[in-house]
Structure 1
Amino acid sequence: MRLAEGIVIDKDKTFGALKFSALRREVRVNNEDGTVSDEIKERTYDLKSRGQGQMIQVSIPAAIPLKEYDYNAEVELVNPVANTVATATFRGADVDWYIKAEDIVLKKKQSLSRSTSQQAQPQTKGK
């Protein structure tokens, strides 16, 4: 079975709160002769996932500017997809999972609820 588009993820249920850790690596394009070029293909970042209970690695395209968020800044993934790479072995195959996303962005803070904002305003006396 081949999933050409990967496995679409419900990011809230799968990852829970995500916190930025650091840039893990940059993957570079190979030249025709097999040497490594200066062109970056994608960047992989370490994110702390409350839902997974561990650090996860997420790759985003190099066309997206380098992310230099504060350590532990709350972030969210834009359109994450999980996929696999299988390597044949003597006993069968080893399978590695990877996660890609279109971008990693700072999570927007929830605005105050309407009732909270109304309580903060002074009340005027009726006529």
Structure 2
Amino acid sequence: MRLAQGIVIDKEKTFGLLKFSALRREVFLQNEDGTVSTEVKERTYDLKSREQGRMIQVSLPASVPLKKFDYNAEVEIMNPIADTVANATFRGADVDWYIKADDIVLKGKATSTIGEKPSKAPAIKDK
């Protein structure tokens, strides 16, 4: 069972301050024969949530470049949606919650980053 559109989240009230931790896992597509391909389907990141008081996992589509922010960098998730997957059991159902988002960006950045630290080019001195 799945919610039709997921639950739209007020990210400030639900998560509060978010800090980047790490890439948790990559999910790969399957080939027609059932083997795992090398094509990434989605990536899940660990973020520290002040309001939740614990680590949360947020999944992004593979079309979003790999995120490599500094540890504990303040981040913001774009358009988060919570959804569930329920599996029937003999005693009712087991429900798993997950969070998906369009992107994770550094706090205060209006647009998505490419996920890499900016490089500082060495100054060129004229001699």
Summarize the alignment of residues 1-127 of structure 1 with structure 2, pairs less than 5 Å apart: 3-108=3-108
Letter in 2 for 1:105: V
TM-score (norm 1): 0.83
- Report the alpha carbon displacement of residue 23 of structure 1 after superposing the two structures with TM: 0.1
Distance 1:3 1:85 in 2: 8
Letter in 1 for 2:52: Q
Query: What residue ranges of structure 2 are gaps of 5+ in the alignment?
Result: 110-127
Q: What is the SS of the residue equivalent to 2:38?
A: strand
- Report the alpha carbon displacement of residue 2 of structure 1 after superposing the two structures with TM: 5.3
Q: What is the SS of the residue equivalent to 1:71?
A: coil
- Report the alpha carbon displacement of residue 3 of structure 1 after superposing the two structures with TM: 2.7
Task: Looking at secondary structure, tell me which structure has more helix per residue.
Answer: 1
Distance 1:59 1:12 in 2: 18
* Residues 84-117 of structure 1: CA deviation (Å, up to 9, x unaligned): 00011111110000000000000018xxxxxxxx
TM-score (norm 2): 0.83
- Report the alpha carbon displacement of residue 4 of structure 1 after superposing the two structures with TM: 1.4
Number of aligned positions between the proteins:
109
Q: Which entry has the higher C-alpha Rg, 1 or 2?
A: 1
* Residues 33-83 of structure 1: CA deviation (Å, up to 9, x unaligned): 110000000000000000100000000001100000000000000000000
CA RMSD of aligned residues (A): 1.3
Letter in 1 for 2:8: V
Distance 1:30 1:2 in 2: 22
Percent identical across equivalent pairs? 80
Query: What residue ranges of structure 1 are gaps of 5+ in the alignment?
Result: 110-127
The runs of 4+ residues in structure 1 deviating greater than 2 Å are none
Q: What is the SS of the residue equivalent to 1:12?
A: helix
